[in-house]
């Protein structure tokens, strides 16, 4: 171990020690961005970047566990990503399926699939849902795996499900509209029953949501990191937590 590693380790321990545990987020959402650019910078193919990104996920979840986070949402594939060329999309879907299966096999976290899985190939959809079902009895941290996810699509799906639920009870459109509340729609989101994310992290230097958790992030804090996702370090995560803990969340009051 060189002196740089020693200095880095000491700094990391200091940041961790100084974090106010009472001010840390319950729910952290992460946009795992920059895999392709990371691969290009190394002269490698996109599949190499996607695999490197998948290999980083378990490490992130361990950091979240250590910090006492109760819910994590990971955006692995957007609905827009489904328009990518088949020679990239096919291997990417396989990498995602394998990564989720490995997380499930660890037995450490409860997985939930968040997204329009009907847009995915049947083999991928069934694999993801089998992995999530295998963790139904796990009492650990809840991990939402956002695959084929789009924020606008989620809201449309939630409204559709809510309307169908009320219509099945014999209610008219006028009756539904007269009593419609924010909570009615929230109760049909992919993340229903969970607290909204306190902190949303995006890697790769991009500073936009791109449709991620549009409804749930209304009062979230945001942290943008320059590192590409495969290069995201523990100290980068700790800095995000420190930035979050230092903000005064007024929620409009």
Per residue in 166-217, pLDDT (tens digit) is: 999 999 999 999 999 999 999 999 999 999 999 999 999 999 999 999 999 9
* pLDDT for 18: 76
Percent residues over pLDDT 90 in the chain = 88
144 in catalytic set: no
In sequence order, the 6+-apart residues with CB closer than 8 A to the CB of 199 are 25, 27, 28, 29, 220, 221, 222, 223, 240, 241, 244
Residue 8: pLDDT band with limits 50, 70, 90: low
pLDDT at 97 over 80: yes
Look up 33 and say whether it is catalytic.
Answer: yes
Average pLDDT over residues 146-160: 97
In 3D, which of 30, 59, 83, 101 has the Cα closest to residue 244? Answer: 30
Question: CA separation (Å) from 231 to 35, 37, 129, 150, 201?
Answer: 9, 11, 29, 25, 14
Give the Cα separation of 5 and 20 in Å (integer): 25
pLDDT over 80 (residue 251): no
Catalytic residue (one of 5, 55, 81, 87): 81
Q: How confident is the model at residue 154 (pLDDT cuts 50, 70, 90)?
A: very high
Tokens 């499930």 found at: 104
Find, among 79, 114, 108, 104, the residue nearest to 193 by Cα.
114
Question: Looking at residues 97-126, what average pLDDT do you find?
Answer: 97
The confidence score (pLDDT) of residue 253 equals 54
Q: At 219, is the pLDDT very low, low, confident or very high (cuts 50, 70, 90)? A: very high
The CA-atom distances, in angstroms, between 49 and each of 56, 77, 129, 176 are: 11, 14, 25, 47
* Averaged confidence pLDDT in the chain: 93
For residue 116, the model assigns a pLDDT of: 97
What φ, ψ does residue 101 adopt, rounded to 5°? -60, -40
The pLDDT of 102-125, averaged and rounded, is: 97
Query: Which among 33, 35, 144, 198 is annotated as catalytic?
Result: 33
Poorest-pLDDT segment among 5-9, 44-48, 58-62, 179-183: 5-9
| Mean pLDDT of the 40-66 span | 97
pLDDT of residue 6: 66
Residue labelled with tokens 């943008």 = 224
What pLDDT is stored for residue 65 in this prediction? 95
Query: Locate tokens 């459109």: which residue?
Result: 173
- Greater confidence, 3 or 22? 22
Q: pLDDT-based confidence at 7, cuts 50/70/90?
A: low
Confidence category of residue 12, pLDDT binned at 50, 70, 90: confident
What SS3 string covers the chain? CCHHHHHHHHHHHHHHHHCCHHHCCCEEEEECCCHHHHHHHCCCCHHHHHHHHHHHHHHHHHHHHHCCCCEEEEEEEECHHHHCCHHHHHHHHHHHHHHHHHHHHHCCCEEEEECCHHHCCHHHHHHHHHHHHCCCCCCCCEEEEEEEECHHHHHHHHHHHHHHHHHHCCCCHHHHHHHCCHHHHHCCCCCCCCCCCCEEEECCCCCCCCCCCCCHHHHCEEEECCCCHHHCCHHHHHHHHHHHHCCCCCCCC
Q: Pick 18 or 71 by higher pLDDT.
A: 71
Burial of 93 (0-12, 13-18, 19+ CB in 10 A): buried
Backbone phi and psi for residue 114, each to the nearest 5 degrees, phi listed first = -120, 110
pLDDT, residue 249, reads 64
Token representation of residue 236 = 């980068």
In DSSP terms, 113 is beta-bridged to 145
φ, ψ (nearest 5 deg) of residue 209: -80, -30
Instruction: Return the pLDDT at 247.
Output: 83
């Amino acid at each position: 171990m060189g002196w740089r590693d020693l200095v880095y380790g000491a700094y990391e321990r200091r940041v961790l020690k100084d974090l106010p545990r009472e001010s840390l987020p319950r729910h952290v959402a992460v946009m795992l961005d920059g895999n392709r650019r990371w691969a290009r910078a190394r002269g490698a193919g996109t599949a190499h970047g996607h695999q490197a990104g998948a290999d980083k996920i378990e490490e992130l979840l361990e950091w979240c566990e250590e910090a006492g986070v109760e819910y994590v949402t990971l955006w692995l594939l957007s609905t827009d990503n489904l328009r990518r060329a088949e020679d990239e999309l096919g291997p990417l879907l396989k990498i995602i399926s394998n990564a989720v299966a490995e997380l499930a096999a660890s037995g450490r976290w409860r997985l939930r699939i968040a997204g329009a899985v009907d847009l995915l190939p049947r083999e991928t959809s069934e694999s993801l849902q089998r992995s999530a079902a295998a963790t139904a009895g796990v009492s650990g941290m809840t991990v939402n795996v956002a695959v084929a996810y789009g924020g606008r699509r989620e809201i449309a799906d939630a409204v559709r499900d809510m309307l169908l639920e009320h219509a099945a009870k014999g209610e008219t459109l006028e009756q539904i509209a007269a009593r419609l509340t924010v909570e009615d729609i929230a109760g049909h989101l992919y993340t229903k029953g969970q607290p909204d994310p306190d902190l949303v992290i995006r890697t790769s230097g991009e500073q936009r949501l791109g449709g991620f958790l549009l409804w749930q992030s209304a009062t979230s804090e945001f942290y943008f990191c320059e590192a590409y996702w495969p290069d995201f370090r523990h100290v980068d995560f700790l800095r995000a937590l420190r930035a979050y803990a230092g903000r005064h969340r007024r929620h409009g009051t």
